[in-house]
Chain A
Amino acid sequence: MSEPRLTESLIQSLGEQLTPVRRLPSPWLRTVGWLLAVAAIAAWLLAHYGITHMLQRWSGQPDIALAGIGAVVTAVCAAWAAFSLGVPGRPARWAWLPLPGLLLWIGASGVGCLRVWVAPATHIASLHEANDCLIFIISFSIPLSALLIWLLRRACPLRPVLTAVMIGLASAAASASLLEICHAFDAAATDLMMHALAVAVVVAVNAAMGGRLLQPALK
């Protein structure tokens, strides 16, 4: 059978196999769905730890509040970018969207490194305490990444690794935001390094595994 006839035959076969499909909801709708899950976890943490401690820290050190806002903005933008990259034809440059939030998050967190000189009396995280941050961010990132991958199951990410990086960034940033609710000490170099390490681990693992997990549509 010649190739053009094979193509015609294929088109006819696909027509015979056609069934109605439910259209994929817009990236914004799916982002809101994922954020509702993050909000539910935040509500549970607030009910457990209360809001007073977090507000006191924020009023005492506004840079921590700014870092928290940066993490939230990063999570929202990265999640939207991941869903957007799952739709063929959407420009890949949307992957830059989380950058402003990420810069705010990193920049404001970096100010915490100076705290040890500016306010020596501040409680600085020990290595053991900073390890707790690492475990917290990674532990919360796993279900949040899994949820994002599940929400992308009907999508078609033509750049699976870039999409997976966005998933990792979104879940790590959301976990760092949730950590703000129950963070027992102020940011410092040790703590910041652990946060950065946790985010890097989450993003790298997603990039390594997610690239494969998000490929089925292209097989």
Chain B
Amino acid sequence: MSLCLTATGTLGLDSVLPAWARIDPAVSDATPTTSESPERQRAAWMAAAQDGNKNAYERVLASSVPLIRAAARRQGVGVDQLDDVVQETLLTVHRVRQTYDPSRSYDAWLSAIASRRAVDALRSHGRRGRRELHDERALDLHPDVDDATAAAEREQEARRLRAAIATLPPGQREAIEQLGLKEHSLAEAAAHTGRQPGALKVNLHRALKALRTRFHGDP
């Protein structure tokens, strides 16, 4: 039940999200443009990002993704969880970017944050695994047939999802309603709410994270 609801609640939400703007190819190209080593280049980009350089920030985040994935794999994170760890790490990097000291290694700073996020993901996964029932025989005995019970369960899941969305902070609730449920485009949602598209997207990511947490039962 919990597993079913989790999958329905999160994957369902992800799948209805529209594909907005793509990252500029120049930004996603993490190859350093100077003779500096990639690590030094990332350090320089992050220092520029601390001063508000958006282009440098997007470059350093894009070039950080392989490093985050490597740090997560070193901690033993499975392939299915890697993208979650990447996104959580990027959000954390955004929140704590003032702690980076440009005179020190950017890669060490990033890897420390990524490793912590990876450990958090593993703990969260472990707690979820202990709570959820993986009994093949029980699943065989209770096939998910399209009967009245299954319909009632789906209705209950939908109610729980609506209730969870209602408890989100106003900004997050607005983002998930506009972009996820009503399937408005980013421009339409921005025009409707009067919010910046960037703010709407960040609120949507936070709302999805909150809903995952809610349905997975993590603290």
Contact = CB atoms under 8 A, between A and B. Distances in A.
Given A9-B20, A10-B90, A20-B50, A88 B99 contact: yes
Given A87-B101, A154-B98, A16 B197 contact: yes
A81 to B, nearest CB: 16
Nearest to A5: B19
B58 interface: yes
Interface of B: 14-15, 17-23, 27-28, 49-52, 54-55, 57-58, 61-62, 65, 83, 86-87, 90-92, 94-102, 104-105, 108-113, 116, 120, 196-199, 201-202, 205
Interface in A147-192: 154-156, 158
A7 B90 CA distance: 9
Contacts of A16: 54, 196-199, 201
Contacts of B86: 7
A11 B109 CA distance: 18
A5 B21 CA distance: 10
Given A7-B87, A21-B98, A1 B23 contact: no
Contact of A22 (B55, B98, B109, B112): B98
A42 to B, nearest CB: 30
B108 A89 contact: yes
B50 A15 contact: no
A16 B102 CA distance: 22
A19 interface: yes
